[in-house]
Amino acid sequence: MVRPRSVVAHEKVLRAALELFSRRGVEGTSMDSIAQASGVSKATIYNHWADKEALLMEVMIFVNGLDREPEDVDTGDICRDLAWVLSRRHPDEFDDARNRITPSLIAYSALHREFGDAWRNRVMEPARNCLRRILCRGIERKLLPATLDMEASLALMLGPILYAHIFQQGNPPPVVDLGRKTAEAFWRAFSVERRSALNAQGLAPQKRHRS
């Protein structure tokens, strides 16, 4: 089936913008240059996106596979479910361009706080929501402690993934199965069964009492 001309033009602009943003940086890319590279008129581009930041946001959503809410998962194994979310991969097709654009995106987000906040919210919230639902199931099933600090738990799991994504773009090589290893480390530290076993062996950390 032939796709509508507007859909074809839309994707041509996204791909042209991605290439220019990744090569020239966000600040060094103009809407004129995107129009020229894509072969789509600037007037048509502005019919689709209000400004360059709106286009940049959709480019990043496009290449990171964030155009729909991540599917929830419940295998009955909380640790496995956490690992599944933490191990999700971006579309392989855009690996090179995404790696090249990431430093520019970070720099641009630091200088343009409103865009940076919107981008972090768009990237992080879907994963955080999935992980939060899994942790809540773990608490409901009494597999995780009711006193679990939700925000700290999310930070502990997402921190290594973000670090690898930002700072380990192939140099040094990223840790193999980092998502699975992060989930397993979290589970060893916080699962009720594991903590009970440590208590039985007298190996659990003791609470300090104020004098």
pLDDT in tens, 76-129: 999 999 999 998 877 677 788 888 888 888 889 999 999 999 988 887 788 899
**Domain span holding position 174:** 78-189
CB of 15 closer than 8 Å to CB of 63:
no
Domain with residue 82: its CATH number is: 1.10.357.10
Does residue 201 form part of some domain?
no
Region 136-149 average pLDDT = 96
pTM exceeding 0.75: no
Q: CA-CA distance, 105 to 123, in Å (whole number)?
A: 13
DSSP secondary structure letter of residue 141: T
Residue 134 and residue 144: Cα distance in Å, rounded? 10
pLDDT score recorded for residue 44: 93
Examine the domain organization and report whether 27 and 83 are in the same domain: no
Which of 43-52, 115-124, 129-138, 152-161 has the weakest average pLDDT? Answer: 115-124
Q: Is the domain of 22 the same as that of 101?
A: no
Separation between Cα atoms, residue 95 and residue 63, nearest integer Å? 8
Which amino acid does the sequence have at 138?
A: G
Say if 90 falls within a structural domain.
yes
Expressed in angstroms, the distance from the first to the final Cα of the chain is 76
Is residue 194 predicted with pLDDT exceeding 80?
no
What local confidence, expressed as pLDDT, does residue 210 receive? 47
Percentage of the chain lying above the pLDDT 70 cut: 82
- Cis previous bond, 172, omega within 30: yes
For residue 152, the tally of other CB atoms under 10 A from its CB is 9
- Mean of per-residue pLDDT scores for the chain: 85
Q: Are residues 85 and 168 in the same domain?
A: yes
Do 57 and 82 share a structural domain? Answer: no
Whether residue 205 is contained in a domain is answered as no
Residue 84 sits in the same domain as residue 182: yes
